[in-house]
Amino acid sequence: MLHRGVLLLLLSFTCVVVGQEDELSEPREDLCKDVECKPGEICQDGRCACRDSCPGDWNNYERQLCVDGTTYRHECDLWRNQCYCRTNDPRCGSEAFNGHRASESSVINYFAECQEFSGLCDWEQQGDTFSTRLAIWFQELLRQKWASGTGYSDDSSLLRPMDTKARSATSKMMSSGGPDTIIPGVVSYWFCEMDRKNKGSLDGSDLSLLKQILLPATPCLETFLSHCSASSSISFAQWHDCFGVPPEDRMECSRFK
């Protein structure tokens, strides 16, 4: 009887061990496989949660950025703060983010430590020629884009690839005008390209890519834009007035889109 009892005990133990091994050998379902999280989030058990910290690689990534007058170390910190504020996490606007409560509409003004540009711009000296120089810079940018072909779609580019309609409308336009004169249609195209939601005006979000490219190297840009409009947005007419383009030379956005 004793031997029989020992055998039964060993048999039951073997069954438990085998059962545990079967459980361990079965692959666990990846709950995060089909989950797409926003920047600043990480998937945990099938749900998106705000990151507690940025991946270590970001600490070696020197790319300061200015958002609403607040300097961030990099995009990852901005995304984390946006996540905290979006989910009412108490870490929203904490000391780590200098008290800045980031929203979904917060945009990167430029990639550098926040600066006050008013003292860096000699508008009395540059004001008379700034609009011309800015328009000519854009014309050269557009000329390079026009000559390079359609390329790939990229919403984060100041100039997206042209479709057939846009290329047809700009073909004659790009062949006219000298290197030191403003082509009126280019000023119109520039407005329409930045007005991606077709609102008929440019707000801070629309102008963000332009600022990211030209600031802080071109400090007079902020002064120029403030002269275009006293409000937070610039209308189609105000944009052309800034460059001195008369109404009869302005091209409606329907010509390009």
| 3 — pLDDT class (breaks 50, 70, 90) | low
Question: Is 159 inside any structural domain?
Answer: yes
The 10s digit of each residue's pLDDT in 159-178 is 666 778 877 777 777 776 66
Question: Phi first, then psi: what are they for 186, rounded to 5°?
Answer: -65, -40
Examine the domain organization and report whether 73 and 128 are in the same domain.
Answer: no
Do 172 and 201 fall within a single domain? Answer: yes
Query: How many domains is the chain built from?
Result: 2
Please indicate, yes or no, whether residues 143 and 80 belong to a single structural domain of this protein: no
Nearest to 256 by CA among 180, 142, 178: 142
Q: Are residues 179 and 250 in the same domain?
A: yes
Tell whether the torsion through CA atoms of 215, 221, 223 and 228 is positive or negative.
negative
- Tell me, yes or no, whether 219 and 100 share the same domain: no
Answer with the one of 114, 143, 167 that is the final residue of a domain. 114
Once rounded to an integer, what is the mean pLDDT over residues 43-64? Answer: 90
Q: Which CATH number do you get for residue 146?
A: 1.10.238.10
Residues 6+ apart with CB under 8 A from 167: 146, 150
Identify the domain boundary among 84, 114, 144: 114
In the predicted model, is pLDDT for residue 205 greater than 70? Answer: yes
Range of the domain at 53: 28-114
Q: Quick one: which of 193, 205, 219, 210 has its CA closest to 107?
A: 205
In a domain, 19, yes or no: no
Q: Choose between 73 and 25: higher pLDDT.
A: 73
Separation CA 196–CA 205 (nearest Å): 10
Bridge-based pairing of strands 47-50 and 41-44 is: antiparallel
In this structure, the chain runs to a length of 257
Mean pLDDT of 139-156: 64
Q: How far apart are the first and last CA of the chain?
A: 92
Query: Among 249, 250, 131, which residue's Cα sits nearest to residue 200?
Result: 250
Do the domain assignments include residue 248?
yes
Model confidence at 129: pLDDT above 50: yes
Q: Which residue has the higher pLDDT, 117 or 51?
A: 51
Same domain, 145 and 201: yes
72 and 151: one domain? no
Q: Are residues 133 and 197 in the same domain?
A: yes
> Mean pLDDT over residues 74-87, rounded?
97
Among 5-9, 81-85, 111-115, the range with the most confident prediction by mean pLDDT is 81-85
